[in-house]
Amino acid sequence: MNDRVGGSRTLSGIPVEQLNEAEATAELERLAAEIAEHDRRYYEHDAPSVSDAEYDALRLRNSAIEARFPNLKRADSPTERVGTAPSGKFSKVRHAIPMLSLDNAFSDDDVRDFVARIRRFLRLGDDALLRITAEPKIDGLSLSLRYENGELVHAVTRGDGTTGENVTANAKTIDDIPARLKGSPPDVIEVRGEVYMTKEDFADLNERQETAGKQTYVNPRNTAAGSLRQLDASVTAERPLKFFAYAWGEVSQLPADTQMGMVEAFKAYGFQTNPLMDVFDSVEALLKHYHHIETERGALAYDIDGVVYKVDDLSYQERLGFVSRSPRWAIAHKFPAEKAMTTLKAIDIQVGRTGAITPVARLEPVTVGGVVVENATLHNAEEIERLGVMIGDTVIVQRAGDVIPQILGFVPEKRPVDAEPYTFPAKCPCDLATDIVREANISGAESVVRRCSGEFACPYQRKEHLKHFVSRRAFDIEGLGEKQIEAFFDDAMLPIRTPADIFTLQKRDDANALQKLKNREGYGEVSAQKLFDAIEGRRTIPLERMIYALGIRHVGEATAKTLARAYGAWGAFEAAALQVADGDTDTREEMDALEDIGAAVIDSVAAYFTEPHNRDLVEALAAELTIEEAERPAADTAFSGKTIVFTGSLERMSRDEAKEMAERLGAKAAGSVSKKTDLVVAGPGAGSKLKKATELGIEVIDEDEWFRRTGRSS
């Protein structure tokens, strides 16, 4: 970096206007190498060694020199790669069918419950045949490969499940991914599976890195992810990546009617499939296979973190459908968590979005199952008491998958003489030092949860609200994450203290915005403009994300989606929320009739909209946005928008399945009959609901008629 000219000054310090041609050539060479190195660090290790501002400055200087000496522009010039800079590296592709995640089971009993739930849902007796597959859960990253007429047309990462990144060029370099399918595949088929790196290839790669004096990688999974997301496909080509096929997205004509049959078809098309996959017809046989795979785990060539079970019969899968983001017909049985010992250095207090106070253990960094752990949750004061830990103790930490690490206990023999007991604070650590209160739970007893009573006056809670607001499943603004919220929140010149502030950021600062941001650590002109662009890109937002982003207590993603679908438009939702807040009982009842929405949700929606500060906040925010109307699940069925009540005993389907069917047809399944009910499906033994329906003159049909109308024969 210290190219000296004339022995007195470094080249990088010479203003562009003063460079001569020889100096410019040398500078362009240096910049190309340096920028390429920063890109490599950023993309391969997720570990940039310079701030965005410094990085931007390098690129700007490079462009300025090229503008002055166009003939000196290099073939590998970084400006050729501007469109693929960090934020918009790969083009985005929307998945024809979302890529979902799996629910987890942690014990044999969880698996028994899973199978029992499925039997109940499908109304299968204990003796009816129910086949379930079991296969290793590969610790890699999932990829969706779309083939049209047997040719690979694109490869897309999972992304947020709805939209992923187009990494086709990179996927084509992987031997296990055929460019052309063998045999006779359907016209359109999206094959999904896991990209991974073997333990041996990972060790070899790290050895090469070390010999070359380069940074080594943490684990095979992260390396595989970094390798697949390379800008330059020739780098991916040098990485020994592999692929197992185990699932699918859009398919024009299914080649089989079982999970096992589908995987066999993938094999015939030329994919690798996992040899440890098999099909079983009892829970005990599934568990036996799980324990078998668990013993084989260490000897396998690749990392796995559990076993995935899937209902084999695809018509059962279809009926079972999904809950939120995971299929009801599959579950991941995770291997037990890994443990390690380390020192408890301190206990800090964290204030959450709802004011909940959580003690967090600060640990001497320790590697647990391949990941460095420095913090662990201690849940609440009772937990600290139960564990009996003191500051300075040697503690046992456990990490299971993506769950926050936990402390299991301490080692008494190792307690140092100067170990200090911990006293739970009575005041919030925020400037206001508000009282920490223990709230009563429903039965009136004191709850273990302590909250800061400061609500919106507590800066911690406001900050947490903002962090939630910009989080991935909410507004998901690229370049505006937790770290940036922390900085903007306390910024004197250009603060973000409410969600609306995000959208007024640029206009509040007029022409000076870029300059001011530039002066702040971490921002250069390019990155500031990128941030403004990212914010503009989110000015239009789907209704369900908007509702979820508000961070109303008990309103998670699934609930936000239900509310969005029920009310359709922001205006309708807001009106209902305000009416509920003002004590309107009709609106409350209407909300209560929605699937999975009960008193807890309604009370917190009411509480949220009762608070004047929140009303102002929401109003200011909505004024900045275009809120898209919610998608109705199936717009054109005879049942769209209808409210249906199922009552009495149903014989051909469970109550859950009935509700699920109704929802898929675009209807709402309600729990009680009112003037708003459109149809009642009554089975034997129906009582008061049937009576009320008759009184109100609502159409009543039986289960067979329901099946006739919905077009499902069996």
Minimum distance from residue 194 beta carbon to ligand IVH (Å): 5
Select from 134, 247, 378, 650 the one that contacts ligand IVH (CB under 6 A).
Answer: 247
Minimum distance from residue 163 beta carbon to ligand IVH (Å): 15
CA distance 544 to 562: 8
CA distance 408 to 392: 15
CA distance 556 to 544: 10
Beta strand extents in 316-454 (DSSP E only): 322-323, 326-327, 330-334, 338-351, 357-368, 371-377, 394-399, 406-410, 436-440, 446-452
Q: 677-696 burial, b for 16+ CB within 10 Å, e for fewer? A: bebbbbbeebeebbebbeee
Q: What mask of x and - would describe binding to ligand IVH in positions 290 to 319, judged by CB under 6 A?
A: ------------------x-----------
Measured from the CB atom, the residue of 219 and 610 that comes closer to ligand IVH is 219
- Please name every residue paired with 152 in a beta bridge, in sequence order, or none if there are none: 147
3-state secondary structure of 390: coil
Instruction: Scan residues 658-687 and list those touching ligand IVH (CB under 6 A).
Output: none
Report the amino acid identity of residue 79. Answer: T
Judged by CB under 6 A, which stretch of 50-58, 135-143, 465-473, 634-642 contacts ligand IVH?
135-143
- The answer to the question of residue 142 lying near ligand IVH (CB under 6 A) is yes
Measured from the CB atom, the residue of 311 and 361 that comes closer to ligand IVH is 311
- The answer to the question of residue 243 lying near ligand IVH (CB under 6 A) is no
Minimum distance from residue 400 beta carbon to ligand IVH (Å): 13
The catalytic residue among 73, 89, 92, 137 is 137
Q: What is the dihedral of CA 43, 44, 50, 55, to 10 degrees?
A: -40
- The answer to the question of residue 132 lying near ligand IVH (CB under 6 A) is no
Please give the C-alpha separations between residue 573 and each of 471, 502, 550, 612, in angstroms, as whole numbers. 22, 23, 13, 17
Minimum distance from residue 583 beta carbon to ligand IVH (Å): 43
Q: What mask of x and - would describe binding to ligand IVH in positions 332 to 371, judged by CB under 6 A?
A: x---------------------------------------
Judged by CB under 6 A, which stretch of 10-18, 324-332, 406-414, 523-531 contacts ligand IVH?
324-332
Minimum distance from residue 277 beta carbon to ligand IVH (Å): 8
How many beta carbons lie within 10 A of that of residue 515, not counting itself? Answer: 11
Minimum distance from residue 333 beta carbon to ligand IVH (Å): 11
CA distance 240 to 175: 9
Select from 36, 72, 100, 360 the one that contacts ligand IVH (CB under 6 A).
Answer: 100
Minimum distance from residue 338 beta carbon to ligand IVH (Å): 18
Judged by CB under 6 A, which stretch of 11-19, 97-105, 200-208, 352-360 contacts ligand IVH?
97-105
- The answer to the question of residue 135 lying near ligand IVH (CB under 6 A) is yes
CA distance 134 to 90: 34
| Residues in the chain, total | 714
Chain position carrying tokens 């409350």: 588
Structure tokens at 609: 């909209």
Residues 6+ apart with CB under 8 A from 306: 104, 136, 137, 332, 333, 334, 335
Measured from the CB atom, the residue of 305 and 629 that comes closer to ligand IVH is 305
Measured from the CB atom, the residue of 247 and 470 that comes closer to ligand IVH is 247
Judged by CB under 6 A, which stretch of 106-114, 290-298, 326-334, 572-580 contacts ligand IVH?
326-334
Minimum distance from residue 306 beta carbon to ligand IVH (Å): 8
Residues 6+ apart with CB under 8 A from 125: 119
Judged by CB under 6 A, which stretch of 65-73, 132-140, 391-399, 622-630 contacts ligand IVH?
132-140
- The answer to the question of residue 102 lying near ligand IVH (CB under 6 A) is yes
- The answer to the question of residue 137 lying near ligand IVH (CB under 6 A) is yes
Measured from the CB atom, the residue of 142 and 223 that comes closer to ligand IVH is 142
* Eight-state DSSP code of residue 131: -
Beta strand extents in 35-84 (DSSP E only): none
Judged by CB under 6 A, which stretch of 53-61, 221-229, 327-335, 502-510 contacts ligand IVH?
327-335
Nearest to 701 by CA among 619, 639, 630, 641: 639
Measured over all CA atoms, what is the biggest interatomic distance in the chain, rounded to whole angstroms?
99
* Eight-state DSSP code of residue 478: T
Q: Are 245 and 181 in contact (CB under 8 A)?
A: no
Structure tokens at 108: 């044999």
Select from 42, 90, 246, 266 the one that contacts ligand IVH (CB under 6 A).
Answer: 246
Q: Which contacts (CB < 8 Å, 24+ apart) does range 153-162 have?
A: 154/93, 156/93, 156/95, 157/228, 157/229, 158/99, 159/92, 159/95, 159/99, 160/472, 160/473, 160/476, 161/95, 161/98, 161/99, 161/100, 161/101, 161/325, 162/94, 162/95, 162/98
Measured from the CB atom, the residue of 245 and 351 that comes closer to ligand IVH is 245
Minimum distance from residue 217 beta carbon to ligand IVH (Å): 19
How far from chain centre, in Å, is Cα 532? 24
C-alpha angle with apex 81: 32 to 239, nearest 5 degrees? 85
Measured from the CB atom, the residue of 38 and 158 that comes closer to ligand IVH is 158
Residue 509 CB-density burial (10 A; 0-12 exposed, 13-18 middle, 19+ buried) = middle
Minimum distance from residue 319 beta carbon to ligand IVH (Å): 15
Measured from the CB atom, the residue of 332 and 513 that comes closer to ligand IVH is 332
345 is catalytic: no
| Number of residues engaging ligand IVH in binding (CB under 6 A) | 15
Nearest to 587 by CA among 681, 674, 693: 674
Measured from the CB atom, the residue of 134 and 541 that comes closer to ligand IVH is 134
Judged by CB under 6 A, which stretch of 95-103, 405-413, 490-498, 635-643 contacts ligand IVH?
95-103
- Please name every residue paired with 368 in a beta bridge, in sequence order, or none if there are none: 371
Minimum distance from residue 241 beta carbon to ligand IVH (Å): 14
Minimum distance from residue 98 beta carbon to ligand IVH (Å): 9
- The answer to the question of residue 194 lying near ligand IVH (CB under 6 A) is yes
Measured from the CB atom, the residue of 239 and 328 that comes closer to ligand IVH is 328
Please give the C-alpha separations between residue 583 and each of 575, 576, 578, 579, 588, in angstroms, as whole numbers. 12, 11, 9, 6, 8
CA distance 127 to 284: 14
Select from 164, 220, 249, 327 the one that contacts ligand IVH (CB under 6 A).
Answer: 327
CA distance 323 to 3: 60
Judged by CB under 6 A, which stretch of 22-30, 131-139, 389-397, 565-573 contacts ligand IVH?
131-139
Binding site for ligand IVH (CB under 6 A): 100-102, 135, 137-138, 142, 158, 194, 246-247, 308, 327, 330, 332
Catalytic machinery residues? 137
